[in-house]
Amino acid sequence: MRSLKFALLAVLFTALIPYASIYFLPLDTIEPLFQEDGIVEWIGAICWFIAALAFLLACFASYRESQGGHPFWYACLIIVTFVAGAEEISWGQRIFGFETPEVVARANLQGEMNFHNLLILDIKADEHGETQKQGWRRLLTFHKLGALIWWGYLVLLPLAYTYIRPIRVLCDNLRVPVVPVSIAVIAGLGYAAFALTNHVDRQREINPMQINGELNEYKETLISIAFFLAALFRFKSERTQAST
């Protein structure tokens, strides 16, 4: 019950209040927060990197004790969270001021040092950005693949592990580092708040695409917060097992 209350409070402060702020506050107030290299983007990047570090420490703890989550699964989680954080800040390109490698620049729709804007992984069908990919090609984009990972690990897996016994037995045998249902509540309700806000009739003289950009930016940060909490849980769980 305590974990459920924590999850609901986390959703309130990390999803509902910020989304309501995006909806009600003037654009000139929220734009600086959501701009490139703004505070919201940096919060997301920091959460991703801390999550990668926490998963790494959890991996060391489980490896030493040969129990808990298997290092293979932790390696996958470390790669996912580190790459997500690096993508958030274009692998430090604007921080360190290095040029985009030519091989990346030719294939990147924005000429930046990142993977999510590569033509093969971007939602846009061509360099002009006038059309979007359709059919199965739409599924093989960076954001769709990312959604598959976070929905699978943060929402579906915890629920299946808790309520479906064969899944629980399989995960235990494979030593999959599952997170609690409270994390699924945070991620699931957080996304529901995003979807609801995204479809509400705003009835204001604004550019809807501009608001959609702010909503999507915060959705990405919310996912990073959920992974941050998941990684802290796994680290605490592995450390507790190692000390017993």
Confirm if 90 and 112 have CB atoms less than 8 A apart.
yes
Q: What's the DSSP call for residue 59?
A: H
| Mean predicted confidence (pLDDT) in 83-97 | 86
pLDDT, tens digit, for every residue of 12-68? 555 566 666 666 676 677 777 777 777 888 989 999 999 999 999 999 999 877 778
Q: What's the DSSP call for residue 15?
A: I
**Residue labelled with tokens 């990047």:** 45
**How far is Cα 185 from Cα 196, in angstroms, rounded to an integer?**
16
Mean pLDDT over all residues of the chain?
80
DSSP 140-169: SSHHHHHHHHHIIIIIIHHHHHHH-HHHHH
pLDDT, tens digit, for every residue of 128-187? 555 666 666 666 788 888 999 999 999 999 999 999 999 999 999 999 999 999 899 888
| Mean predicted confidence (pLDDT) in 204-229 | 71
Beta bridge partners of 132: 124
**Given this model, what pLDDT does residue 96 score?**
82
**Given this model, what pLDDT does residue 2 score?**
56
Phi, psi dihedral angles at 134 (to 5 degrees): -125, 165
**Given this model, what pLDDT does residue 110 score?**
78
Number of Cβ within 10 Å of residue 24's Cβ equals 11
**Given this model, what pLDDT does residue 187 score?**
86
